[in-house]
Amino acid sequence: MSREQKIPNYDGPQRFLPGLNHASDTYFQSQDGKEKKRKNPRNPKIQNNDGPLSSFPESNHPSYNNFQIKEGRLAPLDNKEMTLPDEYSNDPRKNPGKQTQQVHSKKPKSKTIRTGIFLTFEILAMIAAFVLVFFCDEISKVNSCELERALDSIHLDYTPHPCQYHEIKEKLKIPFGFGVGYLVIKGVIFASFAGFKYGWLEKGGQEKKDRWKSPFHIIIAGVSFSFFLTFLLISILVVHENKEQTNVNFDALGSSMLSWLQNRFTSDDLNSGDTISTAWNDFFIQYDCCAVYQVTGTTNDFDRTPWCTTSGSCQATSSQIPKTCCKSVTKDNYQNASSGCHASVNPGTYKQSCLSRMKTLSIVNINESQVNVLFYFLLILMLSQFWQFCLALWDRYHHKKHIIRLGIKSNNHEEHD
């Protein structure tokens, strides 16, 4: 049994006396309900001797003078009020150490409010970061716009890029990476905060909590300010790219297409083996167009191509425009195109210009609403980081005031003692 046992045969409040093998060890209840005496191997003196408790060698505490052994039981001496050692008293005047512990455990009234605000901003920021990562992933997976696919089919590398918001799409790896990193770091901080408040740091007592709380505030403030600057720069980048996005300059695009045609078109045969020429012929059939600018007669965009100047049916004057430029032809029957089309270039037998056809193709693959959502969630993250930075400094300020106040109270207790 424990060396701290309840005092028997006493109607008052039950207390514990350390360092004493009580006489209650010498009695037990028999089956007939009567108390019977047995030897107490730990303290045989108590079971056979009556008298003041202070007469026993192991009961040398001054407060034990108020107790006696009477009929093998522990009882107050001369009906005096039973008292306990000061170190086991709940009275703060006798045990100031206990009062100090209570002072340390007392929390400021505004602590709950600050904690609630911090957790609210933390949760909102993590939700915004998750949405940001989701939108970045969705935008990065969008297909090319129609105009880009058309120019890619003839292997034309046109600058600037023809698709709207293409620069934003190319740079989405930056906010996507920071969004994922933000979720990971904030998850660690959130778990640390929960453990700090409810978990493992509680085991070390208030002193350990106070020791860890100051650097924790500094870490929170530093991380929040760093992410604030990061999201601010990313937001500026998104706004800048949004403003820089303009309509396609079709005059410049027409010049690029014409230069590419005149330098690389060598044959109107789909099976010529020349990659660029085959691509142009496929382009004429697929997009139902001819040349770059509108054909008006035998003088046209093909006059300066190798097909007309070096070798080919145009150079041999058997054709003035490719057979793939004639209306209603396909890859299977283009060789049977009417001579009135490719040789005589009669009006109404050939297709419209390819540049006018390009103007009808969409340049949109990212909606403006997606860009706006991306910007708004970046703004939410930026503001949340700013407020978390301010909250961390505010909490640190109140924590220092709380520590100073506790130190003053502790000193007052020591002076009082």
54 sits in the region (left: phi over 0; alpha: psi -120 to 50; else beta) called alpha
Q: Which of 215-219, 300-304, 377-381 has the highest mean pLDDT?
A: 300-304
Q: Which residues pair with 6 in a beta bridge?
A: 16
**Mean pLDDT over the full length of the chain:** 72
pLDDT of amino acid 335: 92
| List of residues 6+ apart from 31 with CB closer than 8 A | none
Q: How far is CA 145 from CA 137, 329, 352, 360, 367, in A?
A: 18, 26, 22, 12, 11
Q: How far apart are CA 260 and CA 22, in angstroms?
A: 108
Tell me, what DSSP letter sits at residue 303? G
| pLDDT surpasses 90 at 214 | no
| pLDDT surpasses 60 at 61 | no
Q: How far apart are CA 322 and CA 290, in angstroms?
A: 8
pTM of the model: 0.53
pLDDT of amino acid 268: 92
pLDDT of amino acid 287: 95
> Do the Cβ atoms of 257 and 153 come closer than 8 Å?
no
Q: Which residues pair with 393 in a beta bridge?
A: none
Structure tokens at 248: 């396609």
Predicted confidence band of residue 377 (pLDDT cuts 50, 70, 90) = confident
Tell me, what DSSP letter sits at residue 22? -
Q: How far apart are CA 62 and CA 85, in angstroms?
A: 8
Structure tokens at 279: 């691509």
| pLDDT surpasses 60 at 363 | yes
Predicted confidence band of residue 280 (pLDDT cuts 50, 70, 90) = very high
Per residue in 156-192, pLDDT (tens digit) is 988 877 887 777 777 777 888 878 888 888 777 777 7
| pLDDT surpasses 50 at 247 | yes
Percent of the residues in the chain that have a pLDDT greater than 90, as a whole number: 24
